[in-house]
Every structure is written in C-alpha cells, then in structure tokens.
A = this chain, B = another copy of it.
Amino acid sequence: MGENGLGTMTHSVLAARRMPTQKRSRERVERMLSAATALIEKAGSDAMKMSEVAERAGVSIGSLYQYFPDKTAIIATLAERYNAMSCHCIGQGLAGVQSMAALRDAFSDLIDTYYAMFLAEPVMRDIWSGTQADKALCAMELEQGRVLGKMLADVVIRLKPAAEADDVATKAFLVMHLGEATMRLAIATERKEGQAIVDAYKQMVLADLLAD
C-alpha cells in the first residue's frame, strides 16, 4: 500500500532538520514516509523502529534523521497530511449548507464519512487511538479541533445570526472534539456497537445544534 494518494505536501510540523530542496532528496523523503506508513499499518507506530524505516526506504539512518529530527516527527508529518485531508472533506461538506435541515443532513453525512475514513485508514486509527503520548500530537489534535470548530461555528452563525457568537464557538469546538473522541470510542468497540455509538453521538449533537 505504498502510495496513499495524499499528495506531496512537505512536512512542516516541528521544523525539520533540513528541508529537501533537490529532487533526489524530495523523493527520498517520500520513500521514508511511505516506509513509515507501511510499518505503522503492519504493527502500529509504537512498534515502528527507525532502523526499519530507514532500511525499508532504502536509506541510511543518518539520512532519516537529516529530515526528521526524531521519531515523532515522522508520525506528526503523516498526521498532518491526514488532518489536512479531513479538514478539506469536512469543509466541503459544510460549505454549501443554507438551512438547518441541510445542516442536519450534511453533518450526519460528514460524520459517517469521517467514521468510514477512520475505519479504512490503519495509520489514522493508530495515530489517533494510540500515540497521544506525544505533546506535539496532542497539540495538533487540539488545533484540528479548533479549525473544525470554527468551520462549524461559521455555518451555525450564518444560519442563526441571533445566537451568541461565543457560546456557538465554544459549543462547536466541543462538538468537533467530541466527534473525534466518539470515533476513537467507536473504533475501540465491536463494529456494530461502534455504529450505534456514532449514531447516538449524531443524535445528541444535532438536537443541541438545531435547538433554538
């Protein structure tokens, strides 16, 4: 599962030791990230060894550390790509909404899509369900929640101009963050219960969001 269709965005989380400027090194960095992806899919990011990443990418350990200051930087780079992808999806889903009824449907679809993405992407699952030990990863999740929260808040404010902006912002932030928590919970349980949990989340959140 080498190529993952996530584009070729360069990493920028925690200033890499060196930015790849030549074509050769850019390709090598992509190989490193592909190797890391494959290894995470196989056994999780915790079990991923830097030496294995280097070997699989056909690169020396020294090269690996030239572009990623430490192990978490590789994982953070992958996480950043997935984040960008899901932010884009969610943004698109919310963009055209013109009524509360449309919001309800859009939100419901969007959660289902997000859930399907979690289920389908082993790396995403691994990163968000396991490795939250890392501070940088935690900060990224928080930031992600803020971005998604803002998207949702903007829509709600647009549809309900009378609402208190601060309250809406807080609630939207919470709703999006709890969405991620719900995904984690759903994934950690049986498939059927997982779906029931996601449905319960949608129902609860939508009732609150649509209330006036």
Binding site for B on A (CB under 8 A): 46, 129-133, 138, 142, 145, 167, 170-171, 173-175, 177-178, 181-182, 185, 188-189, 193, 196-197, 200-201, 203-205, 207-208, 211
CB distance from A156 to the nearest CB of B (A): 13
CB distance from A178 to the nearest CB of B (A): 5
CB distance from A174 to the nearest CB of B (A): 5
Question: Which of A46, A178, A182, A207 is the most central at the interface, judged by chain B CB atoms within 10 Å of its CB?
Answer: A178
Partner of A178, one of B170, B173, B182, B211: B182
Q: Which 3 A-B pairs have the closest CB atoms?
A: A181-B181, A133-B133, A204-B208
Are B170 and A174 neighbours in the complex by a CB distance under 8 Å?
no
Select from chain B the residue with minimum beta-carbon distance to A211. B207
Give the number of times this chain occurs in the complex, counting copies: 2
Are B188 and A200 neighbours in the complex by a CB distance under 8 Å?
no
Are B185 and A197 neighbours in the complex by a CB distance under 8 Å?
no
Question: Which of A46, A130, A182, A204 is the most central at the interface, judged by chain B CB atoms within 10 Å of its CB?
Answer: A204
Are A204 and B133 neighbours in the complex by a CB distance under 8 Å?
no
A185: chain B residues at CB < 8 Å are 142, 145, 174, 177
A175: chain B residues at CB < 8 Å are 204
CA distance A58 to B212 in the complex (A): 61
CB distance from A131 to the nearest CB of B (A): 6
A170: chain B residues at CB < 8 Å are 193, 196-197, 200
Are B174 and A182 neighbours in the complex by a CB distance under 8 Å?
yes
With A138-B188, A174-B201 already in contact, 14 other A-B pairs whose C-beta atoms are closer than 8 Å: A46-B133, A132-B133, A133-B133, A142-B185, A142-B189, A145-B185, A171-B204, A174-B182, A174-B185, A177-B185, A204-B204, A204-B205, A204-B208, A207-B208
Give me 23 A-to-B residue pairs in the complex whose CB atoms sit less than 8 angstroms apart, sorted by A's number. Answer: A130-B132, A132-B132, A133-B133, A142-B185, A142-B188, A167-B200, A170-B196, A170-B197, A171-B200, A171-B204, A174-B182, A174-B185, A174-B197, A174-B200, A177-B181, A178-B178, A178-B201, A181-B181, A203-B208, A204-B205, A204-B208, A207-B211, A208-B208
